[in-house]
Amino acid sequence: MSEKRYDFRMQRLDINIKLDSSKGLFFGRKLDYYDESYLEDQGYVSCSFVPIGKLRQEQVWILPAPPESLIHTFLVRNIRDELLKFTKDVHVYKAVYPDVIFQNRTRQIVALEIETGKNMKKHKRRLYDKFTEAKLKYGKNLFIVLTDSNMKRKYKSLFPNIKILVRTDLPAFFHSQFHIRR
């Protein structure tokens, strides 16, 4: 009787991962298993959020940015990526300045402050002071973007002179900032 020998050694796969891990946000539909494993090793977290201009949740991979929440981090990076389609002059900040600052088509500086609204009851005075100071600096070009549309009425009553936006308002807002009139 002849004995068959099997070679159980693992075959090495050549895997090329062409992701810029400093980007901070990736959509799951564009990733394969190896990309997801790579992102997980880099500290990314898989979540489901509704992107700007979409109606349904999608799987996204986010690099957490403490002390900000994942939804705040997602919306800041999603807004940054959308704005980069129109202009290269987009700046994202973590503290002191508004979250996103960019130049629109008329070369005006526009500031977006992303808010979750979770600490509005506890820190109402601090929020009021923060937005009063920002309003003095950016004037009518300061906008508050809320992650929770249920908070819009509360923010409008506290800040009647600042335009309040939610995720569904953003495509029209971008169009108004960059639309070329003929």
Q: Are 143 and 162 in contact (CB under 8 A)?
A: yes
| Model pLDDT, residue 15 | 72
- pLDDT of amino acid 6: 67
| Per-residue confidence (pLDDT) for residue 19, from 0 to 100 | 87
Report the alpha-carbon angle 22-173-63, nearest 5: 20
Alpha-carbon torsion (182, 100, 50, 87), positive or negative: positive
So what's the pLDDT on residue 155? 94
pLDDT of amino acid 17: 79
Q: Give the model's pLDDT for residue 71.
A: 96
**Cβ atoms < 10 Å from Cβ of 109:** 15
Instruction: List, in sequence order, the alpha helices (H) in the chain.
Output: 33-41, 70-83, 124-138, 152-158, 170-178
Q: Are 52 and 74 in contact (CB under 8 A)?
A: no
pLDDT the model gives residue 13: 67
Q: What pLDDT does residue 76 have?
A: 97
Whether residue 42 contacts residue 69, with contact meaning beta carbons closer than 8 Å, is answered with no
